[in-house]
């Protein structure tokens, strides 16, 4: 019994792998194993012999089985350690950055303008991009014979023969939202209306779809002086400079009287634009005192109320502020361009921390 025990425990401890262990198990305690065969001989023994040999053989079988189980666990641990030595991962390495999406400069600038005018007490209004010609033209004092209709390169919506609904256009400017806001809310009112507008035009500075923001302030005693102050505040805050010089040029728009186009002082050095200094002027917006006929179309009595309006090209001021040379790139959906000119989603513009940071 002692010989058997020494033999098998020795073999088990020397076993190199699980297959060798399994062989030992079969030879020792398998159906025809050495220890199993010895147990079968118990029947041939005298009862006295059996009383001693039986428990001893059982104990030996248990001991061999548990030695095999322990060795098996040991081999598995070793195998795992071996694997861990080769298959390791340095968790301190920086992760591979997933390219994050960016906010388009147009969205960023729209939000900047909204944050800025909210601070001046303007709320935001919106209107439809498919507009009827009354809101887009007539109500803004642009009757059908008016040259401005032709000048605007308007996209007209298709109409079937016999369809006598009013003609619809892709709105050529955000000014119709003035009318909608006046009709909905009356005076006094202070709103800005950002959004997409459309004209059939395409070159380095024109795309068939672009963006404007309209401003409207109507009250009892609003004058041209208020317009000038608001626009100066707007331009200074937007371009994040202490001083800008604006030039108000007498102009003509059907919906304002008097009307002024506003230019901003700037310089072009090696194609690099600087706002606020230099000998050049860049036109950035149209403005004026709202025409009495426009107030009337908006359901507001022009003998009681007056005020100013303006319209700014969002794409244009975005190009100026962020040094973007070609307007068309805004709408090419070129990811390399977006990564370069886009803003991170966390750069929400607000006045306290700086509009663009």
| Site residues for ligand DAH per CB under 6 A | 173, 175, 214, 253, 255-256, 286-288, 309-311
Buried b (16+ CB within 10 A) or exposed e, 5-41: beebbebbeebeeeeebeebbebbbeeebebbebbee
149 Cβ neighbours under 8 A, 6+ residues apart: 137, 142
- Mapped onto helix, strand or coil, the DSSP state of residue 130 is strand
Q: Work out how close the CB of 302 gets to ligand DAH at its nearest, in angstroms, rounded to a whole number.
A: 15
Q: Is the separation of the CB atoms in 345 and 231 below 8 Å? A: no
In whole angstroms, give the CA distance from residue 41 to residue 30. 15
Instruction: Indicate the residue among 299 and 323 with the shorter CB distance to ligand DAH.
Output: 299
Least distance between ligand DAH and beta carbon 199 (Å): 9
* Integer Cα distance of 292 and 300 in angstroms: 9
Comparing CB distances to ligand DAH, the nearer of 245 and 283 is 283
Q: Quick one: 49 or 126, whose CB is closer to ligand DAH?
A: 126
Nearer to ligand DAH, 253 or 343 (CB): 253
Nearer residue to ligand DAH within complex by CB, 288 or 342: 288
Residue 102: CB minimum distance to ligand DAH, A: 29
Q: At its nearest, how many Å lie between ligand DAH and the CB of residue 151?
A: 9
Say which residue the tokens 């009595």 belong to.
301
Buried b (16+ CB within 10 A) or exposed e, 74-98: ebeeeeeeeeeeeeeeeeeeeeeee
Residue 72: how many other CB atoms lie within 10 Å: 17
Nearest approach in angstroms of CB 197 to ligand DAH is 7
Q: Report in angstroms how near the CB of residue 244 gets to ligand DAH at its nearest.
A: 20
Q: In the complex, what is the shortest distance from the CB of residue 172 to ligand DAH, in angstroms, rounded to a whole number?
A: 7
Choice between 21 and 125, CB closer to ligand DAH: 125
Give the pair of three-digit tokens for residue 177: 């939202």
Nearest CB to ligand DAH, comparing residues 111 and 256? 256
Q: Are 198 and 129 in contact (CB under 8 A)?
A: yes
Q: Which is nearer to ligand DAH, 195 or 288 (CB)?
A: 288
Q: Are strands 209-219 and 189-198 parallel, antiparallel or unpaired?
A: antiparallel
Q: How far is the CB of 137 from ligand DAH (least distance, A)?
A: 11
Tokens of 144: 């059908």
Q: Which DSSP string do the residues of 244-313 spell out, in sequence order? A: --EEEEEEEETTEEEEEEEEEEEEEETTEEEESSSSEEEEEEEEEEEPHHHHHHTT--TTT-EEEEEEEE
């Amino acid at each position: 019994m002692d010989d058997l025990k020494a033999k098998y425990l020795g073999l088990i401890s020397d076993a190199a792998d699980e297959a060798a262990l399994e062989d030992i198990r079969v030879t020792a305690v398998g159906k025809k194993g050495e220890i199993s065969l010895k147990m079968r001989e118990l029947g041939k023994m005298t009862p006295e012999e059996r009383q001693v040999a039986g428990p001893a053989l059982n104990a030996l079988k248990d001991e061999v089985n548990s030695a095999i189980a322990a060795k098996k666990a040991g081999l598995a641990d070793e195998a795992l350690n071996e694997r861990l030595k080769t298959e390791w991962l340095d968790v301190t390495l920086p992760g591979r950055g997933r390219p994050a999406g960016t906010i388009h400069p147009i969205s960023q600038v729209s939000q900047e303008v909204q944050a800025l005018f909210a601070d001046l007490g303007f709320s935001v209004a919106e209107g439809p991009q498919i507009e009827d010609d009354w809101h887009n033209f007539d109500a803004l004092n642009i009757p059908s014979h008016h040259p401005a209709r032709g000048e605007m390169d308007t996209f007209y919506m298709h109409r079937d023969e016999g369809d006598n609904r009013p003609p619809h256009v892709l709105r050529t400017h955000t000014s119709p939202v003035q009318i909608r806001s006046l009709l909905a809310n009356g005076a006094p009112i202070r709103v800005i209306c950002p959004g997409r507008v459309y004209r059939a035009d395409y070159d380095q500075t024109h795309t068939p779809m672009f963006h404007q923001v309209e401003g409207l302030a109507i009250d009892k005693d609003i004058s041209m002086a208020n317009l000038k102050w608001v626009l100066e505040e707007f331009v200074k805050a937007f371009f994040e400079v202490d001083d800008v010089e604006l030039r108000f040029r007498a102009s003509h728009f059907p919906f304002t009287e008097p009307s002024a186009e506003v230019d901003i002082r700037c310089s072009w050095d090696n194609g690099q634009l600087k706002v606020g200094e230099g000998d050049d002027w860049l036109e950035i917006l149209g403005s004026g005192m709202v025409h009495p006929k426009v107030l009337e179309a908006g359901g507001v009595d022009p003998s009681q109320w007056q005020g100013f309006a303006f319209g700014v090209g969002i794409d244009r001021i975005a190009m100026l502020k962020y040094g973007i040379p070609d307007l068309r790139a805004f709408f090419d959906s070129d990811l390399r361009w977006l990564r370069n000119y886009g803003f991170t989603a966390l750069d929400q513009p607000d006045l306290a921390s700086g509009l663009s940071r």
